[in-house]
Structure formats: structure tokens, C-alpha cells
Chains A and B, each alone.
Chain A
């Protein structure tokens, strides 16, 4: 369907080739997953398919792009609108109009589709994607999963033959993500659409995809999922486990994994492996008692009581919109709070005690260079010059001081926002959805950072719905639903007993309570 032939891309601001002599073929009707570490050129590769790179971004590209036998190398992106549909990372930012129906029609209006035919196609696509009940809704009021589906619908009305998506599930909670992925899989199977998507959370997609395209430092390899994943620098935990265990064929689904691990599981069921002991709290830590947050008539947090011991990392989990963010902001003190008392180690919290990394980390950054941000943090906290810089270096290596904060990678941004707040030596650190946009390496680095903070005696609370990250990082898990805390306990108990939160390893070895690849390997070494 799509063939890239010797494609090399350089952007104007740097002499390094982002893609270097890439040759690639994606057959018709494939669901292809583009995988690779952050900054490896995934987005650029997708951009080459739509010709947004370099037509929209500027830059230098050589090589040919062929779509279904037609050379589209020099076609403008808009000429491809009825051949290739493109859905960017943030669906809301890509919406031109304000209601679902008019958004679905926008692309067709540009193509000059006849009004009566347009009407028919809108109805068809509304049905096809199961969003008929949303047709008159304002786009802004939709949930993330609904927005993503509308974004897909709005490009499908132009009847493209290829759909290109950049991280379609990265901002979604697991349930919404599953919806979107199965929708895409259905489009491939029922309509013969060719889908190319980039995704960090590979575990969500890998079982549905026909082809994996690995991007690594500008070069690209593609092939069968098993074959590619066995050599991929990034891989979901189940694949990681299979690779470390030398399983062949490599399991891609939980079912495959369970079958392969049956013998081991049975053995461990009879002789449970010795698991590491739980870290103990070094102090009372944070106690937020009876917190109520409401916006007008909408109650976001309904008298929740959150406790998080010092020296521990506590996860706050729950679906999007359950009040996690509101609770964190209320605890920090910057958000609204109608009722509730916050104490830290038994003392009422004072400003500066609690640091918070917001969901959009860049909200906090507004100076043109990293160095200026760090200097300002030092001055604000009355610390000697360079204090925040030292903290930043401890957190991550190699953040150039003269870079623009908005040019940093997601992980570096998180570290910078953390550093400018840690310089005040807070006793509690809160993070709101920190793993969004991080690849596996980024998450591992964040785990190391947060464990380090906990070991230093701080109380760390993370709001997230990333089960694998919780398993690797957290000691305790607090579950929220509809503004209330519905469960609270040691991470292992909660994760293994929950269907939604269970990690891939937990599912493979259930009822044996093993959460991560590292734990399985330790258990093996011990037995």
C-alpha cells in the first residue's frame, strides 16, 4: 500500500538526519505499529506518509513515497486528504469547528463533496463508529476517548485508504484506550483500511497489530511483530519477560503467556516464591482528612481521606475524571478545597511543604532557558545559586542549560519542574499523571527518581492509571471512584486483586502474586 524508498529527512534547525535512508513497505490492510524510543523519529516517519514532513514543517527530504502505485513524493498534504487520514496526538487541538457533526463534515467540504452525499457519509460514519448520540455535542465537552473517536470519524468521512495516527491512546485511561484500539482493529478487519500508528503504550496495541515498524536513531526496520519485538529496544513487559525467559514463540497476548508459563506457575503455586519485603513507612507522612472539592454543583472530591506514609511511594488510581487531580491540587493547597485538613507528620501543612508536578508540566515554566528557570527557583527559595541545578543533575543527566524548556523531552520537563520545586525541600511530592508521553526508558528513569525521593524520607503520591508503572514504583495503592476513596492497601494486594489494574506479569502468573518482570526473574533465581 505504502512504500518509502530511500527516504532521508533533515530539519532546517539541525544537520543530523532524523530519518536516514529509510526503505519501508506497508501492505494493504495491515495494522502497523510504529515503535521506538522518544525522539527516535516516529512522528517524522508518520509525517513522511502524509507529506506533512517536509511540506508543512519545512526541511529537506530525499527519496520517494509511493501510495498504491502512485508516486506521491511531491504531493501537498491537502492533495492526499482523501487518500490518507491523519490524526495528531491531541485530538482537541486538531478540531476546526465546535460540534461533532460539523467537524465530521469539514474535510468533505474542503474536498467539495456534494452536500447530499456528504449528509449520507456523515450518517454512515456516525453509525460505524458508534457515536450517533454525540452528533450535536460540543467537541470540548466530550471525554478523551470520545474526542479520539470523533477525530478518527472526521478523517474517515473523506474515505481515505490509509489512516495514520500519532499516539492515539497515550492520554486515555485503560478502558477508553481499549475502545479506541479495538475500533481501529475493526476498521482494519471490516473495511480493509490500512492503519499506521505510533504508540508508546505498546502493550495496548501489540496483540492487534500485523506489523511492527521499529524506528531507532533514524533507521527503520519492519516485519512480523514477533520477529521485530525479539530485537526491539522497547517492548511491553510481557514481551520483555518472554525474551528474558527465552520463550519461543514470543507471547504477545496474556493467553499465550499463560500457556507458556503454565509449568512454572503450577510449581510456584505449590511453593510460592519468596518475595521482597514491603518497604515500611518511616513516618506518618501525609494525612488529608475529609477533603471536599466542588466546582459549582459538581462535586469532584466527596470527603476523601488520603493517607500516605513518609518514605513510601503511594499511587492514586482511578479512571479519568474520578477526582484524582482535584484531590492532589487540594492537598497541595493551590486548588480549591471546601473542607478538609491536611497534616504532614502530624503538623498542619504550610506552603512550601508540598510540591506538585502538574499534568501539563510546561504550565509552570515560562522563561526562555533552563538556566534562567533554575536561577529563579534558587532565588525564590533563598538558596545559593546552583542548588536547583545540582538537584536537576541528580535527577537526570545532560539537560543543556541554554535549551528552551519547551524543547525538552517530556521526561526532562518533568525533572526540571520537579527540580525547581525540590529546591525548597518539600516533605511531600505529588505528581499528576507523570507517565503520559514517557517511553519505557523514561518510565524506568522516573521510577528511579521517585524511589530516590522516597528513600530520602519524602512522601510521594502519584496520580496515574498506568498499572505497569504503579507495579514497578509504588508501595501502596489508593483507588478512587466518583470522588471517593474506595480501596487502599499494599500495592501487591490491590494490583493482583483488580482486573483493570493487574499488570501483564500478574495476569500471566495469577494467582501467584508476581507483578513485574524483575520480580519474576528474582523469583526464578531464588527457586
Chain B
């Protein structure tokens, strides 16, 4: 009868680890994703375009592949059950927070609050996965599954990822400065998310001015091969007219109010749950 084995297990930790491999893939995939979002600004000449008019359709098929690869690599090697269950529950809450008709590119209201706070509390990998799964789940509930979904998953993943990458320590009581930083990030994320989703929908929703159809030469349409600044100007106007005053600002305001009012208590609750050791 010896003392036997000794088990010393450190307190539970909730995170989706980003290792060297998955980190590299996440970085490359983000770059690729950015390209797939921003391609309208990168077409160098109308000639190349003429033969590849199917680009938006092809890209809509490529993004899911990239999202799937990144997610499979982030979860490779097994996710521990605590992380997985918390991801599941937070995903459900996020899906519930998204307004019923959030289909397409419409606004996400309070979803960013929890996404940013969870990314902050549990790190960039967790934030990325939570953003992606939240979008997927809310799409299941709101008839939002469509070509836009993988783009939304990627963009929301970036929002969570960014929250996890912000400087400062994530543990302990959040200071005022810390909260202010989160609010600033929330506002930036709200507008950038809106802009990048608009960039995706812009050529699709307005139509593309092509040789067949001249279109109003100076309209808001995307003109392939035009100087990128020119297209950027058109896009800027488009997004200003369609989204900035409405959805994007609404999202920025609701996100910052949510972070101010609920930031600290929610962070407390998240930390507590993650560390809860005893079985009830």
C-alpha cells in the first residue's frame, strides 16, 4: 500500500489554442479571405475581367472551403469539452441576440458585445471560432444560410479574433481604460464589419457595369478594371448611402452601449464560469 500516484491538474482553462501551424494557416487564410472580399478593387484591367465574369460565383464557392479548412485546423488535435460546451452555449446566446431578420447583410445588433467580450476573456482562437459558429447558428434560425454566410462567418471570426489580440491582460477586474479600449474596438469593428460585408455585396446587389450594358457611367455600380481609387470612391458612396447612417451606426451604437453597461459584469461571469472547479 504505497501512496500511489499523484495527480496535479492545473485549474481548467478555456481557450482554442492557436499553435504555429494553425496560426500560419489562420494568417494565410485571412489574407486569402481579404482578397476574396476586396477583389473588386484589385481587378487591374477590364480585359482580364471580360473572360472571368463568373468571379463572384466562384469566390462564393471558395470561401466555404477556406472557412472549413481553418475551422478544422483550429480544432485539430481535439478541443476540450469545457471549451466546446462554452462555445456551444455562447453561440446559442449570440444567435438569440441577433435580430430575427438578420439575413443577408443586415445589421447585427448586440451580438458583437458578447463576441468581443468572449474573445477578450478566452483568447483570439476562441473568438474566431465563436464568431464563425455564431453566424452559422443564427443563419440556421433566421433563414440566413446562403452564399453570404461563409463571408459573414469569416468577418465575424475576425471580429472575435481581433478582440482576443488586443493588448492588456485579460484576467482580473476590467479597468476603465480597458473598457474604453473595448468600446473603441467595438465601434471600429462595427463599421469595418459593415464595410467589408458591403464590399462583398456591392457588385452583387448593384450589378456590375460591363461592356454589354454601359450603365450610368458614374453610378454606384462596380466598374471592373477602373482605377481602384475610382472604385473605392464609388464603393464609399454606396456604403455611405446604404448602410453607414442606418445599420452600421446602429450596430456601433448598440455595441458600445452594450459594452459600457454589461462589459464588466459579463467579463466577471465569463471568468467565473471558465474557472469553476467544483462539480455541482
B10 interface neighbour in A6, A12, A43, A61, Cβ under 8 Å: A12
B198 to chain A, nearest CB (A): 36
Tell yes or no: A166 within 8 A of B by CB. Answer: yes
Q: Is the CB of B7 within 8 A of A54?
A: yes
Tell yes or no: A60 within 8 A of B by CB. Answer: yes
Q: Which residues of A contact B207 (CB under 8 A)?
A: none
B280 interface neighbour in A43, A53, A56, A61, Cβ under 8 Å: A43
Tell yes or no: B177 within 8 A of A by CB. Answer: no
Tell yes or no: A13 within 8 A of B by CB. Answer: yes
A373 to chain B, nearest CB (A): 13
Tell yes or no: B3 within 8 A of A by CB. Answer: yes
Q: Is the CB of A368 within 8 A of B3?
A: no
A residues at B contact (CB < 8 Å): 5-6, 11-13, 43-44, 46-47, 52-64, 71, 73-74, 88-90, 166, 366, 368, 404, 406
Q: Is the CB of B8 within 8 A of A63?
A: no
Q: Is the CB of B277 within 8 A of A74?
A: no
A63 interface neighbour in B4, B11, B278, B280, Cβ under 8 Å: B4
With contacts A5-B1, A58-B12, A368-B265 known, is A44 near B7, CB below 8 A? Answer: no
Q: Which residues of B contact A74 (CB under 8 A)?
A: 5, 7
How many Å lie between the Cα of A404 and that of B276 in the bound state?
12
A366 interface neighbour in B81, B265, B278, Cβ under 8 Å: B265
Chain A residue nearest in CB terms to B12: A58
Q: Is the CB of B4 within 8 A of A11?
A: no
Task: Classify chain B: how many residues form its interface, as a range.
Answer: 20 to 34
Q: Is the CB of B277 within 8 A of A60?
A: no
User: What are 15 of the A-B contact pairs (CB < 8 Å)?
Assistant: A6-B4, A12-B10, A13-B11, A13-B277, A43-B279, A55-B9, A56-B82, A57-B277, A58-B9, A62-B3, A62-B6, A63-B4, A71-B5, A74-B7, A166-B279
Chain A residue nearest in CB terms to B6: A62
A36 to chain B, nearest CB (A): 15
With contacts A56-B12, A57-B12 known, is A63 near B277, CB below 8 A? Answer: no
B23 to chain A, nearest CB (A): 26
Q: Which of B191-219 contact A (CB under 8 A)?
A: none
Q: Is the CB of A11 within 8 A of B277?
A: yes
With contacts A54-B9, A56-B82, A404-B272 known, is A5 near B279, CB below 8 A? Answer: no
How many Å lie between the Cα of A63 and that of B10 in the bound state?
18
Q: Which residues of A contact B278 (CB under 8 A)?
A: 11, 43-44, 57
How many Å lie between the Cα of A43 and that of B278 in the bound state?
8
B252 to chain A, nearest CB (A): 27
Q: Which residues of B contact A56 (CB under 8 A)?
A: 12, 81-82, 279
Q: Which residues of B contact A47 (CB under 8 A)?
A: 279
A463 to chain B, nearest CB (A): 23
How many Å lie between the Cα of A47 and that of B279 in the bound state?
8
How many Å lie between the Cα of A64 and that of B2 in the bound state?
9
A12 interface neighbour in B11, B268, B279, Cβ under 8 Å: B11
Q: Is the CB of B4 within 8 A of A12?
A: no
Q: What 1/0 flags go to B40-52 for Cβ under 8 Å of A?
A: 0000000000000
How many Å lie between the Cα of A270 and that of B4 in the bound state?
64
B188 to chain A, nearest CB (A): 29
How many Å lie between the Cα of A64 and that of B6 in the bound state?
8
A60 interface neighbour in B7, B82, B280, Cβ under 8 Å: B7
A17 to chain B, nearest CB (A): 14
Q: What 1/0 flags go to B246-278 for Cβ under 8 Å of A?
A: 000000000000000000010010001001011
Q: Is the CB of B7 within 8 A of A73?
A: yes
Q: Which residues of B contact A63 (CB under 8 A)?
A: 3-5
Give 5 new A-B contacts, CB below 8 A, not counting A43-B280, A73-B7, A88-B279: A6-B4, A43-B279, A56-B82, A59-B9, A88-B280
B179 to chain A, nearest CB (A): 15
How many Å lie between the Cα of A11 and that of B82 in the bound state?
17
